[in-house]
Structure 1
């Protein structure tokens, strides 16, 4: 897409964590900078996205956006008052920064009021209150969700106009995430060449379902092993569960990895048994682009990319038995697993590419800026 003019897009992000939401913001920002736009991230100095922005080549400004309080509101309002003339659109992401930005913009003189695009990343319910209807349906010029189910919920529950809400799943670099030499990848990351490896790439949060994946593994043959890529608040609890289930020899904690592509290429099966808060999982799309058979759940908008038994397998959330059965079926039928991976790869190439996301986000930002 060729832009009509160069934009300055400012992202606000209150989250101090690290996961798919923060990675999407940085990936999208880097992609739009490469297309000639200016992008600035405004986030707390203690946040992971602020600390890592320079590594992604994205300028960042530190503001104390961690709480819905008067101090952070005034700090954001002061910054916007100075820079509003040089900003075309404001893209908010988490609840706290979205509220702070909405109120700060309303405190600015009319000519300085910036158009707001609200991106909703997760499927956690939004209470249908008058305040939320104001935030989503009146303040936001446009609402972007990471999946169609999330979009429908905002339209149905908060009164967001259908033409003002768009589902744009996170784009994946399909040149970086692609099928490759499995044995070479295992040698690179240090996994046993002769095992059947199931893998999960996710922040270690309870709702990602790692605990159920461990229970499933305990019911599977010893030749099936699990590699857990990622870090987070559930690390020690998961290590304790591994010990309690006697799985120390079969579970490898890889920790957080800067580049997960070789870890994906080393796997036989990818599993993400989330039971809450997903939009469309980036790691699932990365696994699909890598040509892996995927086992996951229909939480959030996962059905946007997983057609059960065609581009992946869907199991009931919080059901370790169903999860074990799905993995066992793929282990027992390599041809079926390969076909599932091939279909997943073809879908990812057609629907999940990074340029597709950038085209659509660029168009929304252009439209919002023109309407200012």
Structure 2
């Protein structure tokens, strides 16, 4: 199958990470893949070493003729069976380009709530395939009256090889943090803002540290509330056991250090890529029972679902996973769960099925 992906968003977002992972999954599965991407953006950089055809473009808006010219040029070269888009600003340009090129269009939606009412009604009907990245995200469109047959679900793929535990990097990172091999590390990776539940997590982790002397918390990420969190941690008696590394371009090596990952959002999440990446590395997940997060783990087997913002419940769950007799089997189950549900081969096969089956 020939697929032309169009993603000219330069930002470092979950949608961009999904775009890169799906492109790589389809290329690895043997499909002929081309990409129209913003020059030197996250997508371009992420695919620069992949075996895909890259075309530079910027789509500023639906009237940007240079964006259309780049898509048409790439389409003439590849002669794709499908155009695939991932970002809202490109929905209408791709629908129009698909009509002009007589190529069907598949569009992904990563956010809830849905688009403005008119677009939310038209886009799933005009695109030949409209895909949400979770059942939770799909329901938002069904709630708007969109027929279920028009909205399908395709989860984020995960490259299992990238998430493979690396004992050498683990030792190097532990040494850089001043920790020994016996440390129990609770990890957080994501945007630092209140809706992500970072403040209740801090309180829960600190309370658990008071009972478990080997427990440390590793904070990866940045955002509007990062400084407030750092200040709160600095004033805490256990400040030395909270480790803030800021924004990390490639978090994969840090999964090797984590004993467990926390996904503590108190605001609704559409999905949760960090959850499945951690589990791919054999790290059990503590996740908020909200939005699309429950779809990312096998509750009670590969991790635990917890009430959002409930400090006592999170403290108890963190302490429970400090016990290796509980944590280690969950880590093994986590890897197997992701392998069977989210690995690149599984998602590539499902995408082909969706594209080739009448809706």
Is 249-258 or 286-295 further displaced after alignment?
Answer: 249-258
Asked if residue 125 in structure 1 is aligned to residue 83 in structure 2, the reply is no
Instruction: Give the Å deviation of 1:97.
Output: 2.0
* Cα separation, 2, equivalents of 1:63 and 1:303: 37
- CA 1:248–1:37 in structure 2 vs 1: closer, same or farther (change >3 Å)? same
Query: Aligned pair count?
Result: 350
Report if the CA contact (8 A) 2:4-2:75 is conserved.
no
Partner of 1:215: 203
Q: State the Cα RMSD in Å.
A: 3.0
* Cα separation, 2, equivalents of 1:185 and 1:12: 33
Partner of 1:9: 4
Partner of 2:324: 334
* Cα separation, 2, equivalents of 1:103 and 1:360: 26
Report if the CA contact (8 A) 1:296-1:314 is conserved.
yes
Asked if residue 102 in structure 1 is aligned to residue 91 in structure 2, the reply is no
- CA 1:247–1:199 in structure 2 vs 1: closer, same or farther (change >3 Å)? same
Asked if residue 260 in structure 1 is aligned to residue 251 in structure 2, the reply is yes
Report if the CA contact (8 A) 2:7-2:38 is conserved.
no
TM-score w.r.t. the length of structure 1 is 0.81
Partner of 2:84: 91
Over residues 226-269 of structure 1, what are the superposed CA-to-partner deviations in whole Å (9 max), with x where a residue is unaligned? 11234455544443343344554122223444553432122222
- Aligned partner (choices 312, 315, 333) of residue 321 of structure 1: 312
Over residues 140-167 of structure 1, what are the superposed CA-to-partner deviations in whole Å (9 max), with x where a residue is unaligned? 11122222222233234241442x4322
* Cα separation, 2, equivalents of 1:212 and 1:126: 28
Asked if residue 116 in structure 1 is aligned to residue 110 in structure 2, the reply is no
Partner of 1:144: 131
- CA 1:352–1:82 in structure 2 vs 1: closer, same or farther (change >3 Å)? closer
- Does the residue aligned with 2:130 lie in a helix, a strand or coil? strand
Which runs of no fewer than 5 residues in structure 1 stay unpaired?
1-5
TM-score w.r.t. the length of structure 2 is 0.83
Structure 2 matches for 1:217-296, cutoff 5 A?
217-222=205-210, 223=213, 224-232=215-223, 234-245=225-236, 248-257=239-248, 259-276=250-267, 278-296=269-287
- CA 1:82–1:56 in structure 2 vs 1: closer, same or farther (change >3 Å)? closer
* Cα separation, 1, equivalents of 2:147 and 2:56: 31
- Does the residue aligned with 2:308 lie in a helix, a strand or coil? coil
* Cα separation, 2, equivalents of 1:211 and 1:99: 39
* Cα separation, 2, equivalents of 1:174 and 1:99: 34
Partner of 2:32: 38
Which runs of no fewer than 5 residues in structure 2 stay unpaired?
none
Asked if residue 311 in structure 1 is aligned to residue 302 in structure 2, the reply is yes
